[in-house]
Amino acid sequence: MPLALLALAAVAFGIGTTEFVTMGLLPQIADGIGVSVPHAGNLVSAYALGVVVGAPVLTGIGARVPHKRLLLFLSGLFVIGNIASALAPGYGLLFAARFLAGLPHGALFGVGAVVASRLVAPERAARAVSRMFLGLTIANIVGVPAGTALGQQLGWRSAYGAVAVIGLVALASLALFVPHQPRGRQSGIRHELRAMGNRQVAIGLATAVVGFGGFFAVYSYLVPMLTHLTGVSDSSTTLVLALYGVGMTLGTLIAGPLTDRALRPTLYAGHALLAAALVTFYFTVHSTVAALVTITFIGAMGSFITTPVQMLLMAKAKDAPTMAAASNHSAFNLANAGGAWLGGLAISAGWGWASPSMVGAALAAAGLGLAFIGGLMDRGNPSSVVITSSDAEASTEAGQVTAAQRMDEPTRSPQPPAAPGSREQRPGAPAT
């Protein structure tokens, strides 16, 4: 893995840790600032609100800023938000600090995805983006459990302090290893907003909100489902959540190469398999071994759809992919809120603790339907390309596309046909 990709993965690791560690420390935070646990739970919402607001706003403000400089600014803001969280004396300032910490989340992932795709050969763009996302999934295996344990032993403020240190390390790594990537002459907020007006971008974001909502409908209630139905003890739930993270990591690793080869089929398969896994969990949740296997698969399929959605949005935004890529993470946070709300409604209606599985399956199936609609609308469209080179904006301005990824079918070898057993090459990609 190039060191620049490792630096981007370190940023993602810090983001993943700070996003989810609050959930494991709610009792300690509530005691520390003198509020109830449900009231402290609003701190999770504050961070999510920061993500939703910050992704389009900060990306728009930085539309003309070179990518590396923008990454450094956003990482610095992330560090400041977590230091403020560690030092906040009361609930009000802590709420504001969590909102501040969430602001750069989506923009960091959006800009990072564009940068990652331009660090490698065009035919490996999705793999590069998925490697960055590995930092997020590994955070669920290592960062969140470690941060939770640290906060329980040394106080909740120490967890946010540790995340700030991770952020500083990531900031230094970005400064050292990420190369300069100039913006094209067309860059600017108006250019980004015009790209966001593409119908395919809107359908892609809707697919993310609805389809990924199925994942969160179950994830939000996984602990009570395990304790009430599977019989897992409270002390063991952290290990089960780490197993969920293992599944997410595997899904991310698999998704990259498949997305490079065939974007839309990968997107369709991910939603279909996620829906099937959620239906299966409804029946396996009562058996410990079967439930753990299914949980791992749900985690894998949940993260599996992240990479193709990200690449789809970057493709449809064409030469202005940054805001679309960042807005994808606003969509994921809306999916988090919507999935959790619908899953809670099912439980409150008396349908049982297993009911979020069926709610999630319905949402994943609806996401598949939206993805199909987008594919049908796009059939035969010759402009289904992903801009990946560092000077893509300037080249597109001259009417040229430097590297393209076809999305509706697997990549095909250029004419004349390649010899049997030779590696396939994407149209427009340099030979490797």
**How far apart are alpha carbons 147 and 46 in whole angstroms?**
19
Q: Which residue has the tokens 């983006």?
A: 129
Alpha-helical segments (H) within 220-262: 222-225, 237-261
| Burial bucket for residue 242 (CB in 10 Å: 0-12, 13-18, 19+) | middle
Residues ≥6 apart with Cβ < 8 Å to 310: 113, 129, 133, 325, 328
| Burial bucket for residue 176 (CB in 10 Å: 0-12, 13-18, 19+) | exposed
Biggest alpha carbon–alpha carbon distance for the chain: 72
Closest of 260, 399, 261 to residue 319, by C-alpha: 399
> Could you read off the pLDDT tens digit of each residue along the chain, which spans 432 residues?
679 999 999 999 999 999 888 877 888 898 999 988 778 878 888 898 899 899 888 988 887 888 899 999 999 999 999 999 999 999 999 999 999 999 999 899 989 988 998 888 888 888 999 999 999 889 988 988 888 889 988 999 999 999 999 999 999 999 999 998 776 555 566 767 776 778 888 899 999 999 999 998 888 788 788 888 998 887 787 788 788 889 999 999 999 999 999 999 999 999 999 999 999 999 999 999 999 999 999 999 999 999 999 899 888 877 667 788 888 888 888 888 888 889 889 988 999 999 999 999 999 999 999 999 999 988 766 444 444 433 444 343 333 333 334 444 444 444 444 444 443 343 344 433
Task: Give me the amino acid identity at 204.
Answer: G
Contact between residue 259 and residue 308 where contact means Cβ atoms under 8 Å apart: yes
**How far apart are alpha carbons 301 and 279 in whole angstroms?**
13
Task: Return phi, psi of residue 98, to 5°.
Answer: -70, -35
**How far apart are alpha carbons 17 and 343 in whole angstroms?**
24
> pTM for the whole thing?
0.77
